[in-house]
């Protein structure tokens, strides 16, 4: 039989649960989502879903696979987010830090973390060190948010302009490809 302390614990848990339900579904007012002019009752739903609404891989990224086939070796490895990596592997047979069967490779969380850091850090030295540590020859940098398994991020693109670490070798309106310098 439950004692008074147990009943109090159960009561507090139920009260918190009901409070969460009330706040999530019955709250009053609207929230303005930054970068939009639309109002939503549950703004986190819109923010988390936006990246999935449109085409993930762009026509320019598809076009870049022709350059990859013609100008890289089959043994070259790419830093790419999950969707760019799937495109590269499917259209060129090159491998990437993530994508494909990478989750069955040794240390998949490290690959995911390193890829995310390469895209998000503002330090070109860190991005270069991680790309070299993963034996990557190129960075596939789409002009869209990237998804490396953690969250959608736009990241810092400026760091790849540092000619001490990276060299731009291909560009169109949707993607840039950088050579990782030795």
In this structure, the answer to whether residues 72 and 45 fall within a common structural domain is no
Number of structural domains in the chain: 2
d(CA 26, CA 149): 32
- Specify the long-range contacts of residues 88-96, CB closer than 8 Å, at least 24 apart: 88/140, 91/62, 91/65, 92/65, 92/68, 94/68, 96/140
- Does pLDDT of 105 surpass 50? yes
- Does pLDDT of 68 surpass 50? yes
In this structure, the answer to whether residues 39 and 67 fall within a common structural domain is no
In this structure, the answer to whether residues 86 and 142 fall within a common structural domain is yes
In this structure, the answer to whether residues 73 and 39 fall within a common structural domain is no
In this structure, the answer to whether residues 113 and 149 fall within a common structural domain is yes
- Does pLDDT of 77 surpass 90? yes
Residue scoring higher pLDDT (43 or 17): 17
What is the predicted pLDDT for the residue at 104?
72
Residue scoring higher pLDDT (26 or 157): 157
d(CA 98, CA 108): 8
In this structure, the answer to whether residues 146 and 65 fall within a common structural domain is yes
Cβ neighbours around 14 below 10 Å, total: 10
In this structure, the answer to whether residues 77 and 121 fall within a common structural domain is yes
Residue range 170-182: mean pLDDT, rounded: 97
- pLDDT tier for residue 127 given thresholds of 50, 70 and 90: very high
- Does pLDDT of 86 surpass 70? yes
Residue scoring higher pLDDT (36 or 21): 21
- pLDDT tier for residue 152 given thresholds of 50, 70 and 90: confident
In this structure, the answer to whether residues 85 and 32 fall within a common structural domain is no
For the chain, the average pLDDT equals 86
pTM of the model: 0.72
Residue range 26-53: mean pLDDT, rounded: 58
Domain assignment of residue 142, given as a range: 59-180
In this structure, the answer to whether residues 120 and 172 fall within a common structural domain is yes
- Does pLDDT of 76 surpass 60? yes
Burial of 49 (C-beta count, 10 Å sphere; 0-12/13-18/19+): exposed
């Amino acid at each position: 039989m439950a004692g008074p302390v147990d009943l109090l614990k159960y009561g507090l848990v139920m009260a918190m649960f009901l409070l969460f339900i009330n706040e999530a579904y019955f709250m009053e007012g609207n929230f303005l989502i930054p970068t939009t002019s639309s109002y939503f009752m549950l703004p986190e739903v819109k923010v988390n879903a936006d990246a999935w609404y449109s085409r993930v891989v762009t026509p320019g990224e598809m076009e870049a696979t022709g350059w990859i086939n013609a100008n890289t070796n089959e043994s070259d490895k790419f830093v790419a987010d999950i969707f760019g990596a799937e495109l590269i592997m499917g259209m060129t047979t090159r491998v990437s830090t993530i994508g494909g069967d990478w989750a069955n490779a040794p240390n998949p969380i490290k690959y995911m973390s390193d890829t995310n850091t390469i895209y998000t850090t503002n330090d070109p030295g860190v991005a270069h060190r991680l790309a070299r540590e993963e034996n990557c020859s190129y960075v596939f940098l789409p002009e869209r948010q990237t998804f490396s398994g953690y969250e959608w991020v736009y990241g810092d693109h400026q760091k790849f302009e540092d000619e001490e670490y990276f060299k731009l070798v291909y560009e169109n309106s949707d993607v840039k490809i950088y050579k990782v310098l030795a």
